[in-house]
Amino acid sequence: MDREYHKWNSRELYRDMEMLVFGHAGYPVLVFPTSMGRFFEFEDRGMIAALGDKIDSGHIRVFCIDGVDTESWYNYGTHPKWRVVRHIQYDNFVRNEVVPYIRWRTGGDALTVAGASFGAYHALNFTLRHPEAVTYCLAMSGAYDIHQFIDGYYDDNCYFNCPVDFMPNLGDNGVLHRLRTGTRLVLAAGDWDICLGETRRMSGILHAKGIPHECDIWGGNWKHDWPLWERMVRKLL
């Protein structure tokens, strides 16, 4: 399997960022790590091995990027205002640096974004904010309400990065049209998943906005953990 390591100084984040790329061809899959996770997490947790046949056959190419959660949502040592500002810088990093790089490498506009747990928040929030950049979003076992990270503080930046808040009021017809016609959305969770309720809540919001999506609930006493997500990516990527 082709495996590449990349490191560069991000103009959006003003720090070095790292990424692993697996595969030589195929549909690009951008993976967000879980809470405070790193770019090597997907490989360390056996997810790349689980997708090995799809990668080796050239069906998909996987791009695993770093996160900055410890500098944004989980940075409890700074004011919530600056936590969300750092998250917006990360969003800009993905949109303005990572996505163009993937398009350059693959020669097309198709892009899957995927993540589990807090990575599902990142994947879905990015998709809902930038649907023109994403053709398929796989959000596994996610929660999409960021109020727990902001200690009662709230501003427009918080609002527009909290999908359960901004989506019910979204009136941009261009964004809605893209989400309704050009982007496949899958929200997946286990039947014993701690994020089952939040997954269904987000599904209800999308349904109310007329946005087609799949709410895939896995029966069999599946909990919020890597064995579930390994099986999900095998089926859904």
Q: Please, what sign has the CA dihedral across residues 149, 141, 123, 106?
A: positive
pLDDT for 37-81, tens place per residue?
A: 999 999 999 999 999 999 999 999 999 999 999 999 999 999 999
Alpha-carbon dihedral angle through residues 43, 3, 115, 108, given to the nearest 10 degrees: -170
**pLDDT above 70: percentage of residues in the chain:** 100
Overall pTM surpassing 0.85 (yes/no): yes
Helix, coil or strand: residue 186: strand
- Provide the pLDDT for residue 98: 98
- Provide the pLDDT for residue 214: 98
One-letter amino acid of 27: Y
pLDDT for 27-40, tens place per residue?
A: 999 999 999 999 99
Average pLDDT, the chain: 97
Q: What is the DSSP letter of 96?
A: I
Domains in the chain, please, with CATH? 3-236 (3.40.50.1820)
Residue with structure tokens 């405070």?
Answer: 36
Q: Which parts of 141-213 are beta strand (E)?
A: 184-190
Helix, coil or strand: residue 112: strand
